[in-house]
Structure 1
Amino acid sequence: MSKINTSESGQSIVEFAFIIPLLILILVGIFEFGLIFHTQLTLNNVSRDAARMESIGKDSDTIYDEFDLTVTFEDANKARGSKVTAYVTESYTITTPFLAQLFSDPIELESTTVMRVE
């Protein structure tokens, strides 16, 4: 009887070839989520800074020109103790080509901060 060759030397390479696209997709998804999270944190800081500046009587429109920033006051006279609201929106477009095909529309991010006028 002849001996059957039971060599498994190429098995790990084939298994790796099946798994690597999934691992790359997960890694790229984590990276893209980090970019979205960073953008959201930036919007939170912008809305907080704008509300703070407006609550102490400074104009925030000159500093944050690149953002879609809306500041509203509860009282038109900006009376002490009334509320000032800063609302910021930003459209985030996914940068990864494969994920951009899955999420074709830009993701709308927003942040709102309410403070009292001092």
Structure 2
Amino acid sequence: MSRKSERGAVAVEFAILAPVLVMILLGIMEFGRAYNVQSTLTNSARESVRSMAINNSQATARTAAKTAATQLSPALSDGNITFSATDCTAGTQMTVTVSYNLSTLTGIAGPLAMTGKGTMLCGG
């Protein structure tokens, strides 16, 4: 077999494998970004519920959630943050849920609905 015919075979093999490799690379990027946003949402919910348990103020808790998630684009709004109760009386549990729709970089799959939850005992 001559060297020229092998070159053509290599080009065909590359043409077959290149899209698969690119899709794997894009999948790694999307997964890494989604993992980072999920971690941010969980941290944001934890900071918010901590603030609510100590201060018993939804306004302060919303601010704490937004401050913990400053790297999100678009940023969190008040509608993204929900509380299990309006008041945090001592001895009861409070749960804060932070919801977010993550648009994907590639646009292939998405947007992804993501949530982070934090639960803490009030007045503790």
TM value normalised by structure 1:
0.78
1:115 alignment partner in structure 2: 120
Q: Partner residue of 1:71? A: 83
Q: Percent identity?
A: 27
Q: Deviations over 1:88-108 (max 9, x none)?
A: 100011121xxx2x42x5211
Number of the residue aligned with 1:106: 111
> Partner amino acid for 1:73?
A
Establish whether residue 9 from structure 1 lines up as the match of residue 10 from structure 2: no
Instruction: Give the CA RMSD over aligned residues.
Output: 1.9
For the pair shown, the structure with the greater C-alpha radius of gyration is 1
Match of 1:39 in 2: 37
CA distance in 1, matches of 2:51, 2:114: 22
The Cα shift of 1:14 comes to 2.2
Q: Which runs of 5+ in 1 are unaligned?
A: 1-5
Q: 1:56: Cα distance to partner?
A: 1.2
Query: Would the alpha carbon gap of residues 63 and 113 (structure 1) be closer, same or farther in structure 2, given more than 3 Å must change?
Result: closer
C-alpha separation in 2, matches of 1:79 and 1:72: 12
More helix by share: 2
Q: How far did 1:16 drift?
A: 1.5
The letter for the 1-side match of 2:85 is F
1:81 is aligned, of 91, 105, 109, to 91
CA contact (8 A) 1:73 1:83 kept: no
| Cα distance change on mapping 1:114 and 1:64 into 2, 3 Å | closer
